[in-house]
């Protein structure tokens, strides 16, 4: 039985990977606004998830300005599905 993933269980990280699950990738600034966190907080979460292989990031230019794009990897999508399944199992145990 696969359990909760401590790497994505933290609320901001769970919101980050959940937000990314609906798109191929998103701009850093869009994610910062969606999660209502500072650049440094989002950067730390993204870095930890990139290091784990759950996210990928790339630098680019959009609208004439430099930006970072972030997306879920296949491992990240699998980790999110497994985590959600574990949460559902816990919920099912509640009377």
Query: Is residue 56 assigned to a domain?
Result: yes
Range of the domain at 38: 6-92
Banded model confidence at residue 1, pLDDT cuts 50, 70, 90 = low
Domains contained in the chain, number: 1
Give the global pTM.
0.89
Q: Both tokens of residue 64?
A: 């004439």
Query: Is residue 79 assigned to a domain?
Result: yes
Q: What is the CATH number of the domain that holds 55?
A: 1.10.10.10
Mean pLDDT (whole number) for 34-60: 97
Query: Is residue 12 assigned to a domain?
Result: yes
Query: Is residue 39 assigned to a domain?
Result: yes
- Measuring CA to CA, how many Å separate 91 from each of 4, 11, 24, 75, 86? 12, 17, 29, 24, 9
Query: Is residue 1 assigned to a domain?
Result: no
Query: Is residue 45 assigned to a domain?
Result: yes
Q: Answer whether residue 67 shows pLDDT above 90.
A: yes
- Short-list 25, 39, 29, 38, CA closest to 71: 25
């Amino acid at each position: 039985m696969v359990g909760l993933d401590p790497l994505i269980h933290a609320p901001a990280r769970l919101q980050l990977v959940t937000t990314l699950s609906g798109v191929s990738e998103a701009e850093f600034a869009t994610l910062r606004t969606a999660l209502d966190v500072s650049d440094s907080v989002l950067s730390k979460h993204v870095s930890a998830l990139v290091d784990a292989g759950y996210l990928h990031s790339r630098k680019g230019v959009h609208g004439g300005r430099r930006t970072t794009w972030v997306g879920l990897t296949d491992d990240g999508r699998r980790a999110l599905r497994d985590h959600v399944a574990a949460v559902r199992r816990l919920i099912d145990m509640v009377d």
